[in-house]
Amino acid sequence: MHKWEKNRIIKNVGSNWFSLAINVLVGMLLSPFIVHRLGDAAFGIWVLIFSITGYYGIFDLGIRSAIIRYVSKFSATSDIEGLAKVINTNLFLYICTGIASMLVTVVLALHLNSIFHIPAEFHNDARWLLLMTGASVALGFPLGMMGGVLEGLQRFYVLSWTNTVSNLLRALLIVIALDHGGGLLTVAFITVGLATLASLVRAIVAMRICPIPLGLHYVNWKTFTSMAHYSGVTFIIMIAQRLKFKTDEIVLGAMMSAAAITYFNFGARIVDYAGSVVTSLAQIFVPMASHSEAVGDMDRLRKIFVTGNRFCAFTIFPITVTLIILGKSIIEVWVGKKYVATSYPVLVIMILCCTLLWAQAASGRLLLGIGRHRTWALVTLIEGISNVVLSIILVRPYGIIGDAMGTAIPMTCSMLLFMPRHVCRQLNIPLKTYLREGYVLPLLLCLPLAGTLLLMRYWFVPHHYLQLGLHLLAGGAVYGLALGWAFLTNRATRVKSLSPQPRKHAADLGLLATPQMESFQQDV
């Protein structure tokens, strides 16, 4: 790997993690402030509305992932004409998508209170909240397209810094607004307004970095059909992801109450924060994989797969250990002791199954980057449908815990039985080699961390921020030393031979002879 590429990776990942740290800090401090000012019901409505509008992401139809892939591919081959067609064609599609999503918002707003169990005093606020967030999402489609361009150009740091400024400003304005008597709609206006402004700034920066001409004559049907082959499969994955991660609050809101959403959300929110640490790392692998596939470097693809997942495991394994051991204290210190009994089981169930997912986060990104994601899409869709069905079945007898189990069971099956074998077949790597190279070292490095946290907890159980900070500091220092040793001795980055399996075996699996040939067939 060239020095300039290492520097770019460090710059992108470092800025992503800094932005994420600010986002988590703001969320951890702001959520209890908002819930105690607005109440459980109002906060539950807030979560519910944003879960509903989160489904608008399916209107993307997989276009953003196609933008990232093809912008990366055409920039690697210096195809300016191709870049212009990709950007203009998708900008036109996103404008149409934004109009359609706004129409859906209006229809949903008219029937919102008859679908969900929303207290009568919040009927009007809930309707206006949906209209505001829906309008923000509608504008976000054309404005946010340039975020995909920046990702394709591997300029993640631009996205990170705009997110950081937006989050800090949002927190400041929300605190001021609530201290001066503002309510749910005021908080919503600040949130969606700053999100739209951040998207506008990114669009301006992207056009300065990549000054591609805009015009209707660049809107190209052939470009659209070529990208549709790719984005259509990605669209299936997007639907499945919504079914997996955006249905819990909706099921609870429809079958239980708005307050139940709040209790579930605190445990799930911590898991989301943990996952964000990994996904902010893993997202850099999509353009890297596309670039390698475009130039035909299959050996580099294999290294991205193994080392990428190893680094994902380095990141998520210690977080999982910490949350299982200190989860009760984290919830108590964060939002109060009354939420521990319900939110902690949700936290444990969700973090265990999600760890299996995020420890393999590079796998999905690599499949997207090289366009071999069709089978994964179908399996993920089955998983998402199973999640919804199981959640509905289990929520009545087991309540909030049953909803969490509905998510955990199909995800565990998918991540254990399908994903590792599938990607190893695609890249022609022995499964045992991948598991050994990817996960043995990360697991071993977590053992001293677990021992330290258990010993600290034996001495005293943390009940406030200072005590919790001491536990996290001790555990972080021990894991940091272990990880530092792994890097100083090159064990963290060293990859033993990833020799492909015999070509005969590869042919039996139906693998294409070269990544260029697969790319050609995919584009056609």
How far apart are the C-alpha atoms of 22 and 277, rounded to whole Å? Answer: 12
Conformation bin of residue 117: beta by default, left when phi > 0, alpha when psi is -120 to 50: beta
Q: What is the DSSP string of 440-459?
A: HHHHHHHHHHHHHHHHHHHH
How far apart are the C-alpha atoms of 313 and 433, rounded to whole Å? Answer: 16
How far apart are the C-alpha atoms of 256 and 234, rounded to whole Å? Answer: 33
b/e 136-156 (16+ beta carbons within 10 angstroms → b): bbbbbbbbbbbbbbbbbbbbb
**Is the pLDDT at 74 greater than 70, yes or no?**
yes
Q: Dihedrals φ, ψ of 230, to 5°?
A: -80, -50
Q: Give every CB contact of residue 319 below 8 A, 6+ residues apart in sequence.
A: 274, 277
How far apart are the C-alpha atoms of 375 and 415, rounded to whole Å? Answer: 14
User: Distances from the Cα of 125 to the Cαs of 45, 46, 177, 241, 301, in angstroms?
Assistant: 9, 10, 17, 28, 50
pLDDT digits (tens, 9 = 90+) for 457-468: 899 999 888 999
**Is the pLDDT at 506 greater than 60, yes or no?**
no
Of the segments 51-60, 99-108, 280-289, 346-355, which one has the largest average pLDDT value?
346-355
Residue written as token pair 């499969």: 233
Pick the more confident residue, 271 or 298.
Answer: 271
Confidence band, pLDDT 50/70/90 cuts, at residue 514: very low
How many CB atoms are closer than 10 A to CB 346? Answer: 29
User: Distances from the Cα of 510 to the Cαs of 174, 190, 260, 366, 406, in angstroms?
Assistant: 55, 52, 49, 19, 35
Residue written as token pair 């492909």: 500
Using an 8 Å Cβ cutoff, are 346 and 401 in contact? yes
Residue ranges per structural domain of the chain: 11-246, 257-524
What mean pLDDT, rounded, does the chain reach?
81
* Helix (H/G/I), strand (E/B), else coil: 166: helix
Q: With a threshold of 0.75, does the pTM exceed it?
A: no
Question: How crowded is the C-beta side of 34, counted as CA atoms within 13 Å?
Answer: 28
Using an 8 Å Cβ cutoff, are 309 and 361 in contact? yes
How far apart are the C-alpha atoms of 431 and 203, rounded to whole Å? Answer: 42
Question: Percentage of the chain with pLDDT > 70?
Answer: 89
How far apart are the C-alpha atoms of 435 and 439, rounded to whole Å? Answer: 6
Structure-block tokens of residue 501: 């399996």
Instruction: Report CA dihedral (9, 13, 16, 21) to the nearest 10 degrees.
Output: -160
Residue written as token pair 């294999």: 302
**Is the pLDDT at 110 greater than 80, yes or no?**
yes
Of the segments 60-64, 101-105, 286-290, 439-443, which one has the largest average pLDDT value?
439-443
* Helix (H/G/I), strand (E/B), else coil: 358: helix
Instruction: Report CA dihedral (50, 52, 54, 56) to the nearest 10 degrees.
Output: -140
pLDDT digits (tens, 9 = 90+) for 199-258: 888 888 888 887 777 778 778 777 777 777 777 777 777 778 777 877 787 788 778 776
Residue written as token pair 């909803």: 403
Structure-block tokens of residue 313: 């495991």
Q: Give every CB contact of residue 193 below 8 A, 6+ residues apart in sequence.
A: 136
Taking the chain, what is the end-to-end CA distance rounded to the nearest angstrom? 31
